[in-house]
Amino acid sequence: MSALDVNVTRKIGEFDLDVTFSVESGISVLFGPSGAGKSLTLALIAGLLRPDTGTILINDSVVTDCANDMYVSTQERRIGMVFQDGLLLPHRSVLDNVALAVRQTSGRQARRAVARTWLERVGAEQFADRRPGSLSGGQRQRVALARGLAGEPALVLLDEPLSALDSAVRRELRTLIREVILSSGVPAVLVTHDGEEAEELGDVVIAYNDGRVTGVRMVELPEDAAPQPESPDGGASQ
């Protein structure tokens, strides 16, 4: 079973996106230069934009089917998303930000308990009562990662989550992102234009250029550098 099947086209002005790929478990990285269509692909998968033609399947369920005019709303796709700038709610506490994403349980206290667990997993439990505006960029991205996974999504999408951070924090968070995502067992699609990041984070790298997939490659991590995933059978096919 594929975690994600994408076969879409979308034209925006002169830019023409036409991509086909599949994603299984683990972390799949969409890698390429700025303007290649990576983030646009992520927005189409999330349902934030609609493709012109094609289909998108998450866990073999159709969420977009242009031919039949079928679009599952973003809220019903059961995805988690981590954005470049975090995009946390500035007027709510860190704990509230994560608790709002919890879907698997009802009741405020139960949701907050789940949220606290996720904050612990990303090492951000000490910020629970603070507002996002008082956190550093790296701390905000930890919270954003907890929020992206707290709703037990079928798929988590990460749109250049580290590009706004300095190199030391970036290195630290790479390890954390890989460990937390693999231990959660949630398949992930991560967008980056940083080659080192793609190699370090990805089980599979899907190379993008000018709106096209130009190659798909499995990454072989050195044993001592690779976190131990619960479901290490990542793969992709074009």
- CB nearer other proteins, residue 31 or residue 83: 83
Does residue 121 interact with other proteins by CB under 8 A?
Answer: no
**In the bound complex, what is the minimum distance in angstroms from residue 182's beta carbon to other proteins?**
21
Q: Which one-letter DSSP state was computed for residue 211?
A: T
Among the residue ranges 16-24, 73-81, 186-194, 207-215, the one whose residues contact other proteins (CB under 8 A): 73-81
**E strand map for 32-164:** 53-58, 61-65, 70-71, 79-82, 155-159
Does residue 75 interact with other proteins by CB under 8 A?
Answer: yes
Among the residue ranges 76-84, 117-125, 189-197, 208-216, the one whose residues contact other proteins (CB under 8 A): 76-84
SS3 22: strand
SS3 181: helix
Among candidate residues 14, 8, 22, the one with its CA nearest the CA of residue 189: 22
Does residue 101 interact with other proteins by CB under 8 A?
Answer: yes
SS3 30: strand
Does residue 143 interact with other proteins by CB under 8 A?
Answer: no
Question: Are the C-beta atoms of 108 and 114 separated by less than 8 Å?
Answer: no
For 203, list phi and psi in degrees, rounded to 5.
-85, -30
**In the bound complex, what is the minimum distance in angstroms from residue 88's beta carbon to other proteins?**
8
Binding site for other proteins (CB under 8 A): 46, 48, 73-75, 78-81, 83, 85, 87-92, 100-101, 103, 131, 133, 147-148, 150-151, 157
